Amino acid sequence: MEQDRTMVKKRLMWFVVLTFVITWLIFGQIPRQGLTYGTGVTIYIVMAGMFVPALCNLLTRLITREGFDNMLLGPNFKGHGRDYLLVFFGPTALLLLSALLYFLIMPGSFDPQFTLLQEPAARTGVLSAQTLLLITVLQVVIIGPVINIIPTLGEELGWRAYLLPKLRLLLSDRAALVVTGLIWGLWHAPVIAMGHNYGTSYAGYPWLGILMMVVFCVWLGIIEGYMTIKLNSVIPAAMIHSTVNAGAGLAIIMAKEGANPLLGPAITGLIGGMPFILVAVILLKKTGNQPEETKPAMEVPK
């Protein structure tokens, strides 16, 4: 048993070190080349970084001779129709609820004119800002779970399909979910320092932004990880992640400029993310009630 645990720890170390080193080298090309984050080629650099966790899943399996069993790529639809309906529509419902709650708490931040949409609406020559917002919401509802699923699988094949199962062999499911989120959040540190999600003008930059991103990844990771464990598949996590990426800007386009990004209106803020946080707390409590036999059997080193 101790030999088994040692091998699991070795594989975890390989995966985490490889993922951080390779990704941070890729992200580091942005300041190294003197590029402005969020524009031009930097979008493709960040997208390339999203595939590194999946790559390191494969590299770790090759380096440690683990093989390619238990990749969690099967969707396991049979008997889980209701779960997949919840995965498909639930995150969008939470996104809309998050926006509503934020503007109820911060009513002065709401922009009834949807100023950010005025210019793109005017370019159409037909649509109003309100109509454009409605179309955006419908797009998130209908195709949000699948529109970004290729790049989100690039991350989830690492975090939820490799890191989480390995941590479950060493820790309780609750602890494994939280630690996976902590590692996932810290992995984002370089792009947060460049302005991802929170910009660069908030008080406490960049450390409070990095901390808030870790908090965000912990609660979102709990939701994604819970569904991964329940359905024994990484597909639900990738779908949830895809919806969140597709709809993360909904509240922003309804808000006036000047909001504190650490609070909202996006779900990456503490207030903006409150409905998601509540769901994560409920699922984390529920995870603690799962019987021990639901955990995977300890792998045998190869």
pLDDT digits (tens, 9 = 90+) for 214-257: 999 999 999 999 999 999 999 999 999 999 999 988 999 999 98
Q: What would the two tokens of residue 50 be?
A: 């999203």
Q: Is the pLDDT of residue 109 over 50?
A: yes
Cα–Cα distance, 174 to 35 (Å, whole number): 40
pTM of the model: 0.92
- pLDDT band per the 50, 70, 90 thresholds, residue 2: low
> What are the pLDDT digits (tens) for 44-92?
999 999 999 999 999 999 999 999 988 999 999 999 999 999 999 999 9
pLDDT score for 207: 97
Cis amide leading into 206 (omega within 30): yes
Task: Provide the mean pLDDT of the chain.
Answer: 92
**Rg of the chain, C-alpha, whole Å:** 20
CB 117 within 8 A of CB 249: no
Q: Is the pLDDT of residue 297 over 80?
A: no
pLDDT score for 302: 47
Q: To which H or E segment does residue 262 belong?
A: none
Q: What would the two tokens of residue 161 be?
A: 């399909």
Q: What would the two tokens of residue 153 be?
A: 């699988």
- pLDDT band per the 50, 70, 90 thresholds, residue 114: confident
Side-chain-side CA neighbours of 247 within 13 Å: the count stands at 33
User: What average pLDDT does range 84-103 have in this prediction?
Assistant: 96
Q: Is the pLDDT of residue 210 over 60?
A: yes
Q: Which position has the token pair 């820790």?
A: 171
pLDDT score for 1: 61
Side-chain-side CA neighbours of 257 within 13 Å: the count stands at 5
User: What average pLDDT does range 102-112 have in this prediction?
Assistant: 93
The answer to which of 129-138, 178-187, 241-250 has the lowest mean pLDDT is: 129-138
CB 108 within 8 A of CB 218: no
- pLDDT band per the 50, 70, 90 thresholds, residue 298: very low
Q: Cα 241–95–247 angle (5° rounding)?
A: 55
Of residues 288, 286, 268, the one with CA closest to residue 276 = 268
- pLDDT band per the 50, 70, 90 thresholds, residue 301: very low
Cα–Cα distance, 45 to 22 (Å, whole number): 12
pLDDT score for 295: 61
Of residues 48, 58, 66, the one with CA closest to residue 18 = 58
User: What average pLDDT does range 127-133 have in this prediction?
Assistant: 86
One-character DSSP codes across 196-235: TTT-S-STTTTHHHHHHHHHHHHHHHHHHHHHHHHHT-SH
pLDDT score for 293: 47
Q: Which position has the token pair 């992200």?
A: 27
CB 52 within 8 A of CB 23: yes
pLDDT score for 12: 97
